[in-house]
Structures are given as structure tokens and as C-alpha cells.
Chain A
Amino acid sequence: MLDVKNLGAWYGRAQILNGVSLSVGENEVVALMGRNGAGKSTTMKSIMGLVRHINGTIRYAEREVQGNTPHAICRLGMGYVPEDRRIFGDLTIEENLEVGRREPRPDAPEWTQEHLFELFPNLAERRKNLGKQLSGGEQQMLTIARTLMGNPKLVLLDEPSEGIAPVIVEQMARVIAELKREGLSVLISEQNLHFARIVSDRAFIIEKGEMRFEGSFADLDENPEISNTYLAV
């Protein structure tokens, strides 16, 4: 479904990614793990077309999408949930969802506002509130709901568990499971091995812009030195 080969990315003259390759299969949840600054977010942004200077190939839905604009990539059914949430603070919850709304697509589940309010009951109660009035956890829910309004087939979830309360993290795990049940594919970037293990099928580990590991969590458990080297603090 998504196949990234040899991805390089630059900010100005600084090279952030150096030959990153990864893949996400149909209805699969894949974790992209690594420390702060390892290149997780840049990988996500590059796939979404938000980094201007990249090379390598990004195949998605049977076509090469590198160099396309973010809106064109989004319209192919890829949804992006940014790490820093990027809620429209001066818009209400309903308006935030409206910005994300796109026509339903035949090959992906269709999400309506009401359906999403069932999945995220706290948002339903505050639907007329402005984005900036929400708590961090609520904003995190809203940013996922907003992306789902676009009826994506693949969701790029950038560090969904970062900086939110443990109870919300649990809720987040349930949401990701729900997405998988609905038939979506998810690429999730994560620092927390425990959380990644709960929600995802297999993992990639990235460090200093290069891929260091690819495999199942069982493989990872057999080689504890990998997670010690690249993940442990």
C-alpha cells in the first residue's frame, strides 16, 4: 500500500534523512520508532509532501507520489495527523472537522461527524467550543478526527501518545485498534516501545536519519541490544 525506497530529505543544506526505506501493507499497523530527532517526523512529513527537498521514491496506491503537493497526496487517500496537533484554535470543533471533510471514496470507510463523535464522546460534548479551549488530550483526539473526516485509507499518525495523560493514551490505543478494525492502514511514529507493541503489527527503528531495524516485536525481543541501543534512554 505504501512503499518508501531510499528516501532522503533536506532542510536547507542539512540532510535529515539518508536512504530511509519502509513499507506499510493493506490493513496493517506499522510503528516507526526512534528517539527524539531520529527523523520520524521528517519521514512522515516527507511522505505527505510537506518537505520540499527530498529524493528517493514514495509509492502509494500504485503510483509514485514524491514531488506531489500535500493536497494531491491527501486526495489519494492518505491522511496525516501532525505531531504538534495543529488544531485551528479559532475554529470550533465542528469547523475543524469541516476543514478536513472530503468526499467519500469507494475503497475506504466513510466517516461522518456523528460517527466520529461516537468514537470521541468528549468532543461531542464540546462541539461548539473553539479549538484553543480544548485540553491537550482533546486536541489530540480532534486532530485524529479531523484527518478521518477526509476518509483516508492510510493514516500517518505522528507521535499520538506524546505529552498526554495516561488515561488518554489508553483511549488512543483503543482508537488505533478501531481504525484497524475498520480496515485502515496506519503508520504510527512512536518512542514508547510498550505502546507501540500494543497497537502495531511490526516495527521499523530509525536513528540519525537511517533505518536500523525492521521486523516483528518478537524479533526485537530476541535482540534486546537493538532496543537498548536505539530506543532506551
Chain B
Amino acid sequence: MGFYFAQLLTGLANASSLFLIASGLSIIFGVTRIVNFAHGSFYMVGAYLAYTLVTHWSGSVLGFWVSVILAAMIVGVIGLIIELTILRRIYHAPELFQLVATFGVVLIFQDGTLAIWGAEDLLGPRAPGLDSAVRIMGEPIPEYDLALIAIGPVVLLAIWLLFHKTRWGVLVRAATQDREMVGALGVNQAWLFSAAFVLGSFLAGLGGALQIPREAVSLQMDLSIIGEAFVVVVIGGMGSVSGAFVAAVLISVLNAFAILIFPQISIVLPFVIMAIVLIFRPHGLFGKPGSEKGAPEEPDQPLALMDQKSAMVLMAALLVLALSPLFTADFTSVLMVDVMVATLFAVSLHFMMGVGGMVSFGHAAYFGVGAYGAAMAVKFLGLGMISAMLFGPVCAAIAALFFGWFCVRLSGVYLAMLTLAAAQILWGVTFQWQEFTGGDDGILGVWPAKWASSDKVYFYIAFVLCIGGIWALRRVAFSPFGYILRGIRDSQTRAESIGIDTRFHQWMGFVLAGGFAGLAGVVFAFSKGSVFPDSLGIALSIDGLIMVLLGGIHALAGPILGAGAFVLIEDWVTRLDYWRFIFGAIILIVVLVAPDGIAGGVQRLLRGLKGGRA
């Protein structure tokens, strides 16, 4: 009995820090509608700062708590600087574009912390005055855990008072519901956004700072917490602080007990819980309908068919690509295969997001299932390359058929989060199921058939499959099915009222996007000769998202430009020291220079050139 109670207390202590970071994320989303990927970075920096400050004032009780608060405040100031210099300039950019900027910030922070604090994990001192354990029902409980258990509700109460008893809090709650109306009533939204961002960053920093007596400070803290924090925010309902508290407790306590029964489950459990909650409550436990929507936006421009000149440019580019193996070295052909794979993957994601209006944070799932499908077909079924290449996309489409059925019942950020949950569950299964998938070791020996084994020949196979796939998706975007999807994207109710089964069409759009992502995965698997769980991982999903958004979601050329730029820049910078910093900076520059994506930026540039001549 005592043991289970101790486990419950551990769960509650975990819940507190999770709540702190999630509440900040929720406040920022509620007011600014920014999906802040950098929130994990704030948490990590809070921990590093607290480590430095606490070791500086080591030993004194007051010193410890002052350090923790000070660290959180510095993070709040960092948040303010980011809001003022970057995010404020791009609030009018298409929905989710700010997410790209926050991802650039993640990369910069990773290398920034590496440069300042080094790669070694840092073990902070215990909290003075709370450094021993008390026995409760015979079990030793760290005093610090008890302090954390108290801190969670105290912060919740403080936020509640702030939101209900101050004018600022009332304005924040009003802005969470209708920020445009708050502006029309004379409130300067820009400052409200900054303040919300500062509060959110402060809470993330506080969550990180409070962790130092419990775990080593490391460079992996940012991405290890962000997924879970998103899950908590979504389960609680986007924008709801009390929802975040309930969800943090739910996740942490369930996790504390689940690992006793089935230790492997802990990496997927939060996502399973999120999936279940979203299926029954599509806006989270305390979320309101409408809370999933991003910033109000002008209607999308219709997709334009290419004019003759652009078509000629495209044909010329394709021709150069097709002939490139004849005059370049083998490694260039291999790089070009990577570019084509990334492009097909990005185009399939764009089909889902830009044409279908369904944002996905977990599109790598179908890429990975395609790759694994083909690899396993070779390994277990003994299929040849061609049949395995057919088998993979079919597997991906079937996975999309299954998960898509659930996802299309939701919309907006909630849909995106369910796709993330699906991807994480698939990743977790792949990672853990050693006997079947090879786990972390992956599946090796997935080589092309003998006749296709040279880099140049394989280049042409990839060329046919990837360019063919991109062409096919483009055709579909301009088919009646594509028109219906775009109609649903622009207005679900109007589409429904003219008799369109919107869910079915979105479902089929989801399956099609998944199938083509699987095709990209297959080409990838045979080009590398192996598959690893990374190919289903959240990092690849985010890469895809960045390619689509950076390229420009409102143009069919967007994902092509985005993927090309992404792979080529990544190939170049990863050879450098502190490449994440450089890559992040490049992303931020693109974001600030071309808030309508690369495609939009190029269009404006061309128009400008024409205008200059006229």
C-alpha cells in the first residue's frame, strides 16, 4: 500500500513541473494562437540558468529559491525579446507560419546552450533545506517532491487570481476568445501578446529551474518535454490553464502506475491517452469549440494553373535534373535522390495541409510505414524490389486509412495533435518491438535489385517514382476531388450544405497523402539500404512541416521549393560547426524576409522586377 502511495506522490511531483510548462504553452496559444515549439527550449534554458545561479549561491535556502525565480525571470525576458524581434513581425502571416519561426529558435537555442554550458550533462545540487527524505507509510519520499506537489496548485491559484482579479487577466481571457474584438475595444493587442508571451516563457523557465534538484540538466531536455507538454495542453483544451493542470496530473499519475505494469509503455502512454480523450472530446477536457482555430485569415487565393513561361522553366529544370547524372559525380546523384524523396514527402504533406486543409504534425508516420513495409517485404516475404516498392505505399495507405478515420473527426490544432499521437504510437511500437522491427537497430540489407544497384540507375528509378508521384498529386489537386477538398478547406459547413460528405472526402485525401508519403519512404529505404525508427520520428514530421510552410503553403510550388532549399541547405550546413545555429538563423531570416513563404517571396520578387521595368 505504502509503495503505491509513494508512486502516486512521485506522479504528482512530476505533474507539477509538467503543469508549469504546459500552462505557459496554453496561455501563449490561447492569446497569440502560436504553436510555440520553442517552449521546450525555454524550459531547458531555465534549467541551465538555474544551475549556474544555484551553484553560484550554493548552500543557502534563500539563494536557491532566489536563483530559481531569477532564472525564470531571465527566461521571461528572453521570451519578450523573441516576441518583439521576430514573432511580432509575422502575426499576419498564414496560420502556423509562426511555428516555423519558433522552430528556428529551437535550433538556435540548442547550439547556444551547447556553446555556453557544453555538451556534458550537469548535475545540480539538491535544494537546501529539502535535501532529505521523509517516511510516509514506511516509504521514503524526497522532501523536494512534496514541495513540488505543493508548488503546482499554488501556481494554478496564482494564475487564477491573476486572470480573474486583475484587468490584465480579464483582457487575456477576453483575447483568448476573440482577440480582434478586444482590439476594436481599444486594447493594444501587440502588448497583450508580448505580456502573454512573457508570462508563458516565465512559467516554462520556472518549470525547468525547479527540475534541477531532480534530474541532470542536459541538451535533450527541450525536445524530450515539448511533446508531452503539447499532449497536456491538448488534453486539457487549448487555452485552458485549469485543463492543463488536470491533464498534467492525469498523465503523470497514470504514467507512474503504468510503468509498474508495462515499463515499455511510458513513451507512448501520453499519446495514447491524448488519442482516447480527443476521440471522445474533440476539444480536449476543458476546451471550447473554436479553440482549435488559428488566427483569423483572409480566404485562400485560388491555386493558379501554371502559365506557359513557368511551365517552360519547370520543364527546363526537370530536364537538367534528369540529365544531371550524366555530368555530375555519384554523390551528387545520391544527394538528388534525397532532394526528390524530400520533395515528394513535402508535396504529399502539402496535399494534406494546403489542399485538404488538414494540418499534420505526424506525417512521417506514413513515410516510415512505407519504408518499413518495403523493408519487411524484402526481409520476411522475400519480395523483390519492384513488388516491395508496391507493397510499401499500400501499407502506408492502410495505416492512413486506419488513423485517418479518427483524425478527420477533428479539426485545426486538435487534428494536428491526433496525427502526432498516431505517429508517436507507431514510432513507439516500432522502437520497442525488437523481434519484429529490429527496434533501434532497424532493418538492414534493403538494397535495390542488382540491375538497379548503381547510383545512377537508382537515380532514374527515384526520378520516375518521385516526379511521377508529384505529378499525380498535382493532377488530383485540379481534379473534381481536389476541388471538393479545397471547398471543404474553405468552408466545411457550405460544403456540407451542398451535399458533400466532407468527412469521407477528407478521409480519402488523408489516405492519398499517406500513400504518397509511403512511396517517398520506399524510395528512401532502398536508397539507404536500411530503415530505422527515425523515419517515423517526430523530427522528420517537423522537417516536412518546415519544408511546406517555409516553401509557402498557398502555392503548389511551395513544397517543392521548400524541400529543395531545406535539403540542400541542411546538406551544406551540417558540415559546419554549430550548424543548428546557422540553420536556425537561416530559417528566421527566410521567415522575416518572406512571411508568405519562399514561393510567395519569389512571386513578389518577380512582380517587383516586372514593375521596375514597366
By a beta-carbon cutoff of 8 Å, the part of chain A in contact with chain B is: 11-13, 48-50, 52, 69-71, 74-75, 80, 82, 86, 88-91, 95-96, 98-102, 146-147, 150
Contact A70 B170 (CB under 8 A): no
A101 to B301, CA, bound (A): 38
Contact A12 B183 (CB under 8 A): no
Of all chain B residues, the one with the shortest Cβ separation from A69 is: B183
Contact A70 B173 (CB under 8 A): no
A11 to B170, CA, bound (A): 31
Known: A88-B173, A90-B173, A98-B167. A70 touches B180 (CB 8 A): yes
Those of B174-190 within 8 Å (CB) of chain A: 174, 177-178, 180-189
Of all chain B residues, the one with the shortest Cβ separation from A156 is: B184
User: Which residue of the partner chain, among A13, A50, A89, contacts B184 with CB atoms under 8 Å?
Assistant: A50
Residues of B within 8 Å of A98, CB to CB, are 167, 170
What are 11 A-B residue pairs whose CB atoms fall within 8 Å in the complex? Answer: A50-B180, A52-B298, A71-B183, A88-B174, A89-B177, A90-B173, A90-B177, A91-B170, A98-B167, A98-B170, A150-B185
Residues of A within 8 Å of B170, CB to CB, are 91, 95, 98-99
* B288 interfacial contact with A, CB 8 Å: yes
A48 to B181, CA, bound (A): 11
Contact B171 A12 (CB under 8 A): no
Contacts A11-B299, A12-B299, A70-B184 given; 16 further ones with Cβ under 8 A? A12-B298, A12-B301, A50-B180, A70-B180, A71-B186, A74-B185, A82-B181, A86-B178, A86-B181, A88-B173, A91-B177, A95-B170, A95-B173, A95-B174, A98-B167, A150-B185
Residues of A within 8 Å of B180, CB to CB, are 50, 70
Of all chain A residues, the one with the shortest Cβ separation from B167 is: A98
A48 to B288, CA, bound (A): 28
Residues of B within 8 Å of A69, CB to CB, are 183, 188-189
A102 to B186, CA, bound (A): 8
A147 to B170, CA, bound (A): 16
User: Which residue of the partner chain, among A12, A52, A99, contacts B174 with CB atoms under 8 Å?
Assistant: A99
Contact A74 B186 (CB under 8 A): yes
Residues of A within 8 Å of B299, CB to CB, are 11-12
Of all chain A residues, the one with the shortest Cβ separation from B169 is: A95
Contact B177 A99 (CB under 8 A): no
Contact A147 B185 (CB under 8 A): yes
Name the distance in Å between A124's Cβ and chain B's nearest Cβ. Answer: 19
Residues of B within 8 Å of A96, CB to CB, are 174
Contact A99 B184 (CB under 8 A): no
Residues of B within 8 Å of A70, CB to CB, are 180, 183-184
A71 to B189, CA, bound (A): 8
Name the distance in Å between B100's Cβ and chain A's nearest Cβ. Answer: 22
Contact B181 A91 (CB under 8 A): no
Contact B188 A13 (CB under 8 A): no
Name the distance in Å between A103's Cβ and chain B's nearest Cβ. Answer: 10
User: Which residue of the partner chain, among B167, B177, B186, B301, contacts A150 with CB atoms under 8 Å?
Assistant: B186
Name the distance in Å between B99's Cβ and chain A's nearest Cβ. Answer: 22
A230 to B490, CA, bound (A): 30
Known: A11-B298, A12-B299, A90-B288. A100 touches B177 (CB 8 A): no
A99 to B163, CA, bound (A): 13
Residues of B within 8 Å of A95, CB to CB, are 170, 173-174
Residues of A within 8 Å of B181, CB to CB, are 82, 86, 88
Name the distance in Å between A107's Cβ and chain B's nearest Cβ. Answer: 16
Name the distance in Å between B388's Cβ and chain A's nearest Cβ. Answer: 46
Contact A99 B171 (CB under 8 A): yes
Residues of B within 8 Å of A49, CB to CB, are 184
Of all chain A residues, the one with the shortest Cβ separation from B189 is: A71
A156 to B218, CA, bound (A): 56
A18 to B184, CA, bound (A): 24
Residues of B within 8 Å of A102, CB to CB, are 186
Of all chain B residues, the one with the shortest Cβ separation from A100 is: B185
Name the distance in Å between A115's Cβ and chain B's nearest Cβ. Answer: 18
Residues of B within 8 Å of A48, CB to CB, are 184
Residues of A within 8 Å of B301, CB to CB, are 12-13
Residues of B within 8 Å of A82, CB to CB, are 181, 184
Residues of B within 8 Å of A86, CB to CB, are 178, 181
Name the distance in Å between B448's Cβ and chain A's nearest Cβ. Answer: 47
A12 to B301, CA, bound (A): 7
Residues of A within 8 Å of B182, CB to CB, are 99
Name the distance in Å between A3's Cβ and chain B's nearest Cβ. Answer: 21
Residues of A within 8 Å of B288, CB to CB, are 90
A80 to B187, CA, bound (A): 13
